[in-house]
Amino acid sequence: MELLIALVALGIGSALFPAQITITVMLLRSASGRIAAVGWVGGLTALRLLQGVVFGLIIGSARTTEPGRQEASLLVPTFQLVLAVAFYVLAARKALDGPDEDAPPPRWLARLEAVTPVRAFLLGAGVLAISVKAWVFTLGAIEAIGDARLGQPGSTVAFLLFVVLAQSIHLAAVGMAYAMPDRASSVLGRFSDVLTRYGRQIVIALGLVFGTWFLLQALSGFGLLTAP
């Protein structure tokens, strides 16, 4: 249950990135329309899956190394400490009203009107690859899954759940555009405006909660605290 709660919160936190949702809405309103939006969402999804494969193997390898090796025993809590600091930094930047480092350059937005599906796919993968917040949330999910020790099949299912949650708003937007094309544009536009207004508070709350959670996990791994 603890893992499920963590994955739901991390997945929803990953979904609530105003800049990415704005791009989805703009693509659905562009001349390229729904096909380009599908390419964009496909790029986001593909990069997340690649992150899961690569870093899941790295973290899983660290956990299965012989317990007698001091270096291996300290690797996981060190990574958890890095994640804790990263979440606190995200919260602090938002609390200080820092700029959104994930927002794409204006020249990218200007080209969305006529972007092809292939370029939209590459844009999705590229935006996610340079998104600091996305990396923190994804690595946090991978670490939480690894800490649960579900085995390979269970870990794969758990990470796919995280990916679906992280992509949920984009998938819902594209689905709405296909199912209700007349209403989708206005509904998605209003949702994007609301998220832009309250996204800062959401990121601060999630950063503090997960920063503290990973800090406690790290201290426990270092033997400084009983496991929460």
In SS3 terms, 202-223 reads as HHHHHHHHHHHHHHHHHHHHCC
Residue 39 CA to residue 155 CA, distance in Å, equals 27
CA nearest neighbour of 28 among 194, 171, 197: 171
Q: Which of 190, 192, 173 is nearest to 181 (CA)?
A: 173
What is the pLDDT of the chain when averaged over all its residues?
82
- Is pLDDT of 128 > 80? yes
The pLDDT confidence band at residue 163, using thresholds 50, 70 and 90, is very high
Task: Quick: pLDDT tens for 46-104.
Answer: 999 999 988 877 766 655 554 444 444 577 788 888 888 988 988 898 888 766 666 66
Structure confidence at residue 100 (pLDDT): 62
Residue 40 in contact with residue 23, Cβ under 8 Å? yes
Look up tokens 């963590």; give the residue: 6
Cα–Cα distance, 30 to 46 (Å, whole number): 23
pTM, full prediction: 0.79
Cα dihedral 164/172/207/126 (nearest 10)? 80
